[in-house]
Amino acid sequence: MSEFVRIVEVGPRDGLQNESKMLTVAQRVELIKRLADCGHKTIEAGAFVSPKWVPQMADTASVLASLPKFAGVNLPVLVPNARGMEDAIAAGAKEVAIFTAASDEFNIKNTNVTIAESYKRFAEVFDLANQHGIKVRGYISTVVGCPYSGDVKAAKVAEVAAKLLQIGCYEISLGDTIGVGTPKSTKKMLKAVLEEVPVEKLALHCHDTYGQAIANIYAGLEMGIRVFDASTAGLGGCPYAKGASGNVATEDVVYMLNCEGFETGLAMPKLIETAHYAASLVGKSPQGKVAHALKV
């Protein structure tokens, strides 16, 4: 039997947050429905962050309220602080994601606090999460390089990952936010993190800025990682990471995984159709390769 790899679809959050075209609630809902129909079991549905900082994620509560109950599909939302967590709980979220970075410079630009200060916010988020039985995933941005301070030390990533594990994150997603990683630097970073965090608690979140995402994901596979974040049509980037192109396209990752003999539970024809739909919503063509190669 094929080994299973879990894809965390981040297009409706990480993708749309950086597109200049603002979607309506109805369009965001339709995109999530189509992604669920592809077979996705984890779809990041939005963010309870300040709409002054990221206007694209405003109205996430309305998005959640408009979605049907999909059996077996998790719809995590991003929360930066207790205020976001309260909003997520009020909107009925069952899973959230907190986020910090391996570079203080980036974290300050992204959230107005240092990495250490972000832990204080997370303690408040966890108080609420524990009271309400909500699962918390943790993101670390800039795990290989930072747009403001350059190279990031693998030891720093490992230190932050250990902290997120210790405070109770069920999974830690390692984000190459600006896509500067190569297989060598990705493996070096993973080697350091794996000394602190068991492999089954890790996910890799690659951006394709320099076309290295699939190579880096393969490096992650070789190191035992079996959870990868990806974005339909390669939408997005990061509003506080100048020059970051989108997350790696989901359909490109799934194509590689299928060819390498892994199972994802995702239906390729629907992924392709959805990528074209997602791209059309933001007035682009799909950013990956496979959506073009397999278009019917």
Please list the active-site residues: 238
Binding mask 160-199 for ligand HMG (x = CB under 6 A): ---------------x-x----------------------
- Annotate each residue in 44-83 with x if it binds ligand HMG (CB under 6 A) or - if it does not, as one string: ---xxxx--xx-----------------------x-xx-x
Q: Would the CA dihedral through 85, 87, 92, 95 be positive or negative?
A: negative
Phi, psi of 288 (to 5 degrees): -85, -170
Q: Which of 27, 107, 111, 216 binds ligand HMG (CB under 6 A)?
A: 111
Contact criterion met (CB below 8 Å) for 276 and 291 = yes
In terms of CB distance, is 59 or 251 closer to ligand HMG? Answer: 59
- The CA distance from 75 to 21, in Å, is 23
End-to-end CA distance of the chain: 30
278 touches 15 (CB < 8 A): yes
- Give the separation between CA 169 and CA 249, rounded to whole angstroms: 25
Kindly write out the interface string for residues 1-40 of this chain, putting x where it contacts Mg ion by CB under 5 A and - elsewhere: -------------x--------------------------
Among 103, 107, 110, 231, binds ligand HMG (CB under 6 A): 110
The answer to whether 107 and 113 are in contact (CB under 8 A) is yes
5, 7, 8, 17: residue in contact with ligand HMG (rule CB under 6 A): 17
Q: Is the separation of the CB atoms in 190 and 161 below 8 Å? A: no
Q: Does residue 228 bind ligand HMG (CB under 6 A)? A: no
Contact positions toward ligand HMG, by CB under 6 A? 14, 17, 47-50, 53-54, 78, 80-81, 83-84, 99, 110-112, 139, 141, 175, 177, 205, 238-239
